[in-house]
Structure 1
Amino acid sequence: MSIDSIKTEITALTPAEWGQIFSWVIGEERLRREAEPTRAQVIGELQEAGTLPAPAAVTTDQVDAGTTAPAWENPGTDHTKMYRQGAVVTHNGKAWQSITPVLNSWEPGTENGLTWAEYAPPAEAAEDPETGETITQWRPGIAVTAGMKLTYNGATYEVIQPHTTQADWLPDALPTLYKKL
């Protein structure tokens, strides 16, 4: 039975039959499917038990503690080599975290942020001894807000517009985003 044949059958239903099938799909069938363990859950449990190998990856806590994430490896169609939600890998010079609840075989940075998100450890911040203000060390990947203070190349800057810092938006080159103090 194909999807097209199912669609043809559904369009031929009476309104009462459609109501019955719709109620079943959004009720009983949805609950049954939600109760089944997902492929990602089953594979994850087997990997944690040591029954199946797991792809090389680390967690955000490990990256935050200074561990370098391993390089992404294309898992192809091998489900045991696909990345689970939360896995962190490096690819093309950046760290990426798998954000999808299903097994992830996509190449990081190629699918519009649907399965991977660029990951950066929390920015280092310090208190200015003179003013008591928090000043954050600039680096790419920080979500900044207007008024936030950043240091870059020995100078302090104030953020003018909220944005996420990136390597080609340097504080000393963009007066529309940063004001040198």
Structure 2
Amino acid sequence: MAVDLDLAGISEADWGDFYAAVLREQQRRLLLATAAQQAETLAAQYAAAVETQPARQLADIPTTGAVGPGEKIIIDGITWENISGAWLSPHTAGPDVYPLGWRNTALAQPGAADTYPAWTVGVAYTTGTLVTYQGTVYRCVIAHTSQADWTPPAVPALWTIA
């Protein structure tokens, strides 16, 4: 788009303001063009940093503290990983209160599914029950009687990966 401006008629003060506005707009456009890549890079760096951190004891986390995505905590000898994608307080939104946000790391190990019963249609499951379905361990989030179309991966409101 061609713009016909009378640049010769612009005062020195207005010229300086115009030039500063052009520079700001260039920076804004550059930021927008690179923001997605920068966010992706930072997310990968964060994930790599968190992955190498040892699990922290619940007692070492202040009651006002939070655990970031991918971080691990130990509660009563069980290591839990925050899989929510958000920062969670293990004191107010821990695995017992917000089971969808946490994964028991021991249950994610190969062979763990062999120790729990298979999910079955027509069973009255209670909250906290562990079952296996297609090689994955799931934890019941809401008590219910299973139905053929309510498989654990199909109904995340009822089941979470343990």
Asked if TM exceeds 0.5, the reply is no
Bigger Rg over Cα: 2
Give TM-score scaled by structure 1 length: 0.30
Give TM-score scaled by structure 2 length: 0.33
